[in-house]
Amino acid sequence: MALFLDGVLLLNQGGLILFADQAACEILELQADCLRQPLTELGPEPVIGTLVTAALAQRASQEREFVTTGLSQQRTLLVSVEPYDLADSGATGWIVLARDLTSIRRLETIERDFITNVSHELRTPLTSIYGFAETLLRQDVAFGEAERRTFLGYIASESERLTRLVDGLLSVTRLEAGGVELALEDIDVGDVLREIVVRQAERAKDSHRVELHLPAGPLVAAADRDKLRQVVLNLVDNAIKYSPDGGSIDVTATRQLDMVEIRVRDHGIGISAADQRNLFRKFFRADARMTRGIRGIGLGLYLTRGFVTAMGGRIRVESEAGNGSTFIVDLPLRRGTGGGVRAA
């Protein structure tokens, strides 16, 4: 898919439209009956009329990039007005080139934000690790065993956070290149959930209650154990992170027809309907007014969906701004014919 859209118009010497292709009509929102009409009056964006007027008055080319204000949706446009002179026919006039740069400018913004966020996310744990290690190396202070264990605990947790961040970046590259191998096997989903919930419950015990709800007996699904662990860990970690006021995090697993259904429910800030449409996109971050102070680079849910889809499952969300969120993962039941390895 093209990153930008180009449209062409031909104007006569007086500025009347002689030709407008479909792309130009779409970009400038011109009606089908715009021929023989003055562009300066039809253009919904005042800057376009200004450029054409300046070109006509100065008999010289004009070009400008701007963000629209008068169109039905905000766009970034590059508009050029160039003279033409056809010697054979004696026709003269103006060529107007309109290029919609909205998509490419949006990608550039995402790239800048991504670099900024990654730099911050890398710097924060590195600063902590360096600071605590440097403190432990001081010769002028005698630290007790309890203090040493506290400092080492911070170093270990920040190192783990740094490792997860780097692994996430590498996983995105592998996933998009088809280089992530899945070791599909019949596993008891309950075992994976218990491992994650016990670990996260201990970490968040001062602020949240992480509770697990399982039926009696095993819940066997066809999945990659390591990828499923990453999926559930990310969902529970997000549930804690986006519940800044604390509360309970409920992790539930049940059998639903031909699927094992995993639900991770929180009572946090929730997700608006607008943000839900983009939630699983790479580098997407929710409304900054809702997530101020919450760290992340927008890769967790992108990877989560990639891993779930690769395992033959699906993921969806139920949420309302201000009323918490529930992420639902459906995984196919046991393979029955043993394991297998394939690329995502």
- According to CATH, the topology of domain 108-176 is Helix Hairpins (1.10.287)
SS3 content of the chain, % helix, strand, coil (to 5): 40, 30, 30
Distance CA 25, CA 3 (A): 18
Of 279, 317, 323, the closest CA to residue 298 belongs to: 279
Query: Please, are residues 164 and 233 in contact by the beta-carbon 8 Å criterion?
Result: no
Residue of 299 and 201 predicted with greater confidence: 201
Highest mean predicted confidence (pLDDT) among 16-20, 64-68, 85-89: 16-20
Task: Please work out, in degrees rounded to the nearest 5, the angle formed at the alpha carbon of residue 184 by the alpha carbons of 181 and 188.
Answer: 135
Q: Global pTM?
A: 0.61
pLDDT in tens, 1-28: 455 678 898 888 888 888 888 888 888 8
Average pLDDT taken over every residue of the chain: 83
Q: Over the stretch 211-229, which tens digit does the pLDDT of each residue have?
A: 999 998 889 999 999 999 9
Q: How far apart are CA 224 and CA 177, in angstroms?
A: 19
Per CATH, which fold does 181-343 belong to?
A: Heat Shock Protein 90 (3.30.565)
Query: Of 281, 276, 273, 277, whose CA–CA distance to 304 is shortest?
Result: 281
Residues near 101 by beta carbon (within 8 Å), at least 6 away in sequence = 4, 65, 76, 77, 78
Structural domain 5-100, CATH architecture: 2-Layer Sandwich (3.30)
Provide the residue ranges of all domains of the chain, joining segments of one domain with +. Answer: 5-100, 108-176, 181-343
Contact present, 235 and 274 (Cβ < 8 Å):
no
